[in-house]
Structure 1
Amino acid sequence: MLDDEEEEIHVPINNDLERRIADAFEVFDHAGNKTVDVREVATIVRALGCCPTEAEIQEILMVVENPESPGSVHLANFLPHISQIITEHKYQPASPAQLLEAFQVLDNEGKGFLTKERISTLMTQDGEPFTQDELDEMLEIAIDPHTQTVPYEYYINQLMLD
């Protein structure tokens, strides 16, 4: 039997969106107690199709982190906030046209591709840098194994298939 402090909070699931959010959350709820470590929130939010910056993740954490148990997030706090974010279409990924335009800006010679070295430098040193794991994951899909370049129109099409 649970004591008063550990009493389970019932979290109603009212629609398909909330079910999708709860399902993604539960993947990281290793103890099965409707809580996750704050370090998992970015992964969960991004798995739900949102693309917030690290600063925006910190804003989310300020709202959803459990004040009685710092370092953890309860589904009861997470669900309504993330449901609202998704419903309001916040943190939407870039469109294919926006991605193409960004790649074309980086491809100042108009070759239709970026070298592995150039994309690696850009992704780890400029803007919001990728970790090595994130870079490796991206390059696994983006790099043409024969030319060792990123043919960006093909890469964008691959992203859109997911």
Structure 2
Amino acid sequence: MADNNQSAEAQSDIHKKIRSAFKTFDFLSNNTVEACEINSVIYSLGCFPTQADLHAFISEVGEDNSGFIELDKFLPAMTKILLEHRFPPIPEERLLQAFEVLDKEKKGYLEPEELRKYMTEEGEPFTQEEMEEMLTALVDNKQKCVLYKEVIGQLVIDPDT
């Protein structure tokens, strides 16, 4: 019986996290999120799917051509993903290595335009909107650059929290 209580408690905690993340992007306060914002909701939950996985997930939760995803459809699908650890977080050391590869001159920072170029032209490119959000969060306002060793903590999510 204790296992069932722990399982129910864990699922309740997951539901709270999902609802909280979803609510952050529910700008109309009507239990819907624009389909284009679902990636941000998922990332904020510590999940990092590929673009293909993201598109499959959006299809699964039934974006109904309105451009919105409903919490009632998102919650059970996202709960399953979190319980199965399907889109694992990126380890801090791997993220640091990625920044160091981009920092060819070993300066310890990246210029915003340098990071923008890499993130919008290589691999699975970020949209301009995603890039603006990232730069707003990561650029050090005084030094006008991304001090990546200092901001990695913002980008890494502990899967047990």
Q: What is the aligned residue count?
A: 146
Could you tell me how far 1:63 is from its partner in structure 2?
1.5
RCO higher in structure (CA 8 A, sep ≥6): 2
Secondary structure in 2 matching 1:113: coil
| Deviations, residues 92-115 of structure 1 (Å, cap 9, x unaligned) | 331211111111111223222222
**Which residue of 2 is the match for residue 53 of structure 1?**
50
| Deviations, residues 62-102 of structure 1 (Å, cap 9, x unaligned) | 22106xx5445444432222111011222233121111111
Question: Is there any run of 5+ residues in structure 2 with no aligned partner, and where?
Answer: 1-10
Mapped to 2, the partners of 1:86 and 1:161 lie a distance apart of 13
Identity %: 36
- Superposition pairs for residues 27-106 of structure 1, below 5 Å? 28=26, 30=28, 32=30, 36-65=33-62, 69-71=64-66, 72-106=68-102
With normalisation by structure 2, the TM-score equals 0.70
With normalisation by structure 1, the TM-score equals 0.70
**Which residue of 2 is the match for residue 9 of structure 1?**
none
**Which residue of 2 is the match for residue 11 of structure 1?**
none
CA 1:60–1:145 in 2, change beyond 3 Å: closer, same or farther? same
Whether 1:136 and 2:127 are equivalent positions in the alignment is: no
Mapped to 2, the partners of 1:150 and 1:138 lie a distance apart of 10
Query: Is contact 1:38-1:65 (8 Å) kept?
Result: no
Mapped to 2, the partners of 1:137 and 1:36 lie a distance apart of 17
Structure that is richer in helix per residue: 2
Could you tell me how far 1:47 is from its partner in structure 2?
3.0
**Which residue of 2 is the match for residue 122 of structure 1?**
118
Query: Is contact 2:48-2:87 (8 Å) kept?
Result: yes
Secondary structure in 2 matching 1:15: helix
